[in-house]
Amino acid sequence: MNKRWWAIGAVGGLLGLVALGVAAQASKGASAPAGQAASAARPALSVQTVAPQSTPIRIRLSAHGSVAAWQEASVGSEVQGLRLAEVRAQVGDTVKKGQVLAVFASETLRAELAQLKAAVAEAEASLAEAAGNAQRARDLQSSGALSGQQIQQMLTAERVAQARLDAQRAAVMAAEVRLKQTEVLAPDNGVVSVRTANVGAVMPAGQELFRLIRQGRLEWRAEVPASELPRLKPGMAATVTPPGGTPVAGKVRLLAPTVDAATRNGIVHVDLPNPGAARAGMFAAGEFEVSERSGLTLPQSAVVLRDGFSYVFTVDAQSKARQQKVELGRRQGDRVEVVSGLPANAKVVASGGGFLGDGDLVRVVGSP
């Protein structure tokens, strides 16, 4: 009797365990589709979208060249063999036209000028005497008191005295010019770029003492391939970036009439009204603004590079990301031109496209 009840209890427990297992399997099978559905409905990324914008695209031509003085003025000594007594200008000084840059010792020339002025006074006295004799000869010419030869001699003496006076006056003028030349003057407004004048030196005539950058004007001499020269014209805007400096605005002044036979490059002269950090002798890079047109642009962060091609991700009506291959054009600042492959009304993922795949569900949280 006890054995029978024990067997019945064992069979009942076994049946209970089987029922529990079946219920667990059923419960697991019912919850699996719900979990998969929840996982499938979860967005892969929260994104912001942007629309392509019509932006003016500036077509630029890049070039390199040297910064140089627009024109240089060489200031030299005009007097011979005088000692340089004073130097009043240094390299980097801004000077004005007519400003005294240096002074030569003038004692010798002042003594010569005084001597010549005395000679002028003597010549004036001689002329007065000769003129008086000539006038008397004219008065007595009809009376016969003087011979024709004597009269001619007196008239000739007057003309000789006048010539001597004119020569002495010319010599005084020359001496005064030489005296003025003891002051070395700036021929134009500008900046002193070179100084070779030293106090105490005895300079020969024609020796360069200073060199000026006329009017302080600098220019960029860009080397441009001959094939690109027809795209440039005087008055065209340019931007020059000196080493370690900020970009400087310029304007094309002229195109050189010849092309270098060795390099096949032509020189384009660009005025730099406000040179900023640019200095004569620098080598600088720059760009010419050749033309301007409109184009669709996107932020560069919206473009994804994969396998050597450019892609963007658009968001469709079901909030799914769609990968689209695009062709890019020029870059301007932080934006890039989209030449083809994208409609103008597309909603483009602004950033983070590298973490997306085609067809991923995304959550749009606004526009940047």
The model carries a pTM of: 0.61
Q: How many residues make up the chain in this entry?
A: 368
pLDDT of 85 strictly over 90: yes
Q: Which residues contact 289 (CB under 8 A, 6 or more apart)?
A: 58, 59, 60, 236, 237, 238, 239
Tokens, residue 33: 């589709």
Q: Which residues contact 215 (CB under 8 A, 6 or more apart)?
A: 70, 188, 189, 190
What would the pLDDT profile of 103-123 be if each residue is shown by its tens digit? 999 998 899 999 999 999 999
**The pLDDT of residue 368:** 66
What's CA 61's distance to the chain center, in Å?
Answer: 14
3-class DSSP state of 134: helix
pLDDT of 11 strictly over 80: no
**The pLDDT of residue 41:** 63
Region 242-250 average pLDDT: 89
For β-strands 265-272 and 218-225, DSSP reports them as antiparallel
3-state secondary structure 179-248: HHCCEEECCCCEEEEEECCCCCCEECCCCEEEEEEECCCEEEEEEEEHHHHHHCCCCCEEEEECCCCCCE
What would the pLDDT profile of 158-180 be if each residue is shown by its tens digit? 899 999 999 999 999 999 999 99
C-alpha pair distances (Å), 23 with each of 10, 13, 26, 30, 270: 20, 15, 5, 11, 88
Closest by CA to 190, choosing from 217, 210, 219, 220, is 217
Residue 19 and residue 30: Cα distance in Å, rounded? 17
